[in-house]
Amino acid sequence: MLKGDFPVERFRDIPTPFYYYDLPLLRRTLDVVQRQLDRNPTYRVHYAIKANFNPRILAEIAARGFGADCVSGAEVRAALAAGFPPEGIVFAGVGKSDAEIRFALQQGIARFNVESAAELEVIDEIAGTLGCVAPVSLRINPDIGAHTHAGITTGLAENKFGINYEQMDEVMDLSLSLPHVRYCGLHFHIGSQILDMMDYVALCNRINELVLRLQRAGRRVGDINVGGGLGINYQHPNHLPIADFEGWFEVFRKHLRLPEGTEVHFEPGRSLVAPCGTLIARVLYVKQGTRKQFAIIDGSMTELVRPAMYKAYHRVENLSSDEPEEVYDVVGPVCESSDVFVKEASIDRCRRGDLMAIRSAGAYGESMASHYNCHPLPDCFFFEG
């Protein structure tokens, strides 16, 4: 059985649990995206840093000249500290505080992706007191249901995100009337872990419709930000370690109908960083239940909450065993019934002390870690190649 390419010998003396990051894989992934950008001079990428804001990961991505998509003032600060230039930083979020808006304006970030008329007025007022003009895009809720987990779809009219597309003209009028904001374009983001490219075709069709409406009204379109959400293959991390960026960019190349020279911005998060991260943990006990056997490991929902929070699947592998597979529920030590990584998974026979790999954990893993049960935040180990 293929177990990826883990330097298991070097793990032996590292206290578990910890995150392992395969930097050569991250670099190969960034190469694929960079080739797409070289082919498409009007495309820009802003890495969604909420997926993983580990400074080492941010530095790798910033070094490529990509921008950053931030959803809090602290993320703007982290992006700047990692070397993303302010002119590459965009700032989204339904609830930006006054302090966050002021900070981002003072740093001279590229764009506020504004999610309501109320927010637009506050940004205008704060920019006024600072004597500057805020560059804004309007985040439009396209009312498209991405075929993904209900907890991570964001583009439906019932979601809290963005401005309903029926209200776009009204909010655009407001943005044009306010003296301290400058309308720069439209922003969209339909959800996460999207594997059905038809969802992105639907987004393109909606964008084309809105662009046509603006053009007919004699309005400027500005640039178009299509957000992120590209999914990865959680089932087969060894065979398919890089997301289908070619297919993703191809959809927009083929389906978007935009005025000549329009910049198109992308905000991938998960797809850039999920495959390169693995949570490494040790088996503490193998417990025989009456109907199940449990592999109890020292990693838990405090390092990787996705299974508990979204019922997300991560492939679990035993890096120390070559014995025949058995069926286990792999669980953590936290006092919550949801602290389960996988149920009834076939895994090479587990013994106390075995090293377990919880794969594809580079996105929304370390960045969502918590101190619950007084657990310390996880350490990390970088494989340089």
CB of 65 to ligand PLP, least distance (A): 19
Using the rule CB under 6 A, which residue among 44, 96, 111, 189 binds ligand PLP? 189
Closest to ligand PLP by CB, 294 or 313: 313
Answer yes or no whether residue 115 interacts with ligand PLP by CB under 6 A.
no
CB of 317 to ligand PLP, least distance (A): 24
Name residues contacting ligand PLP, limited to 297-356 (CB under 6 A): none
Using the rule CB under 6 A, which residue among 69, 100, 115, 124 binds ligand PLP? 69
Contacts of 96 (CB under 8 A, 6+ apart): 73, 104, 112, 119, 123
CA distance 356 to 7: 13
Closest to ligand PLP by CB, 51 or 204: 51
CA distance 245 to 195: 11
Give the tokens for residue 336. 């919550």
CB of 41 to ligand PLP, least distance (A): 22
DSSP β-ladder status, 163-164 and 181-187: unpaired
Name residues contacting ligand PLP, limited to 137-166 (CB under 6 A): none
Write each residue from 268 to 307 as x if it is in contact with ligand PLP (CB under 6 A), else as -, in one continuous string: xxxx------------------------------------
Nearest residue by C-beta to ligand PLP? Answer: 269
Closest to ligand PLP by CB, 149 or 287: 149
Contacts of 289 (CB under 8 A, 6+ apart): none
Closest to ligand PLP by CB, 155 or 378: 155
Give the tokens for residue 13. 């003396």
In the chain, the DSSP E strands lie at: 18-22, 43-48, 67-70, 89-91, 111-114, 134-141, 163-164, 181-187, 223-225, 264-266, 277-288, 293-297, 316-318, 325-331, 340-348, 355-358, 379-383
CA distance 203 to 252: 9
The interface region with ligand PLP, picked from 4-12, 234-242, 264-272, 374-382 by CB under 6 A, is 264-272
Answer yes or no whether residue 51 interacts with ligand PLP by CB under 6 A.
yes
Using the rule CB under 6 A, which residue among 192, 300, 318, 360 binds ligand PLP? 192
Contacts of 282 (CB under 8 A, 6+ apart): 16, 17, 297, 298, 353, 354, 355, 356
Closest to ligand PLP by CB, 92 or 256: 92
Name residues contacting ligand PLP, limited to 31-50 (CB under 6 A): 48, 50
Answer yes or no whether residue 203 interacts with ligand PLP by CB under 6 A.
no
Closest to ligand PLP by CB, 92 or 276: 92
The amino acid that residue 321 corresponds to is S
The interface region with ligand PLP, picked from 37-45, 81-89, 239-247, 263-271 by CB under 6 A, is 263-271
Among left, alpha and beta (phi > 0; psi -120 to 50; other), residue 107 is alpha
CA distance 357 to 303: 13
State phi, psi for 310 to the nearest 5 degrees. -120, 5
Crossing angle for the helix pair 55-62 and 23-39, to the nearest 10 degrees = 30
Answer yes or no whether residue 227 interacts with ligand PLP by CB under 6 A.
yes
CB of 176 to ligand PLP, least distance (A): 23
Closest to ligand PLP by CB, 153 or 321: 153
Write each residue from 356 to 375 as x if it is in contact with ligand PLP (CB under 6 A), else as -, in one continuous string: -------x------------
CB of 54 to ligand PLP, least distance (A): 15
Q: Is 75 exposed, middle or buried (0-12, 13-18, 19+ CB in 10 A)?
A: buried
CA distance 29 to 273: 8
Interacting residues with ligand PLP (CB under 6 A)? 48, 50-51, 69, 71, 92, 189, 192, 227-230, 267-271, 363
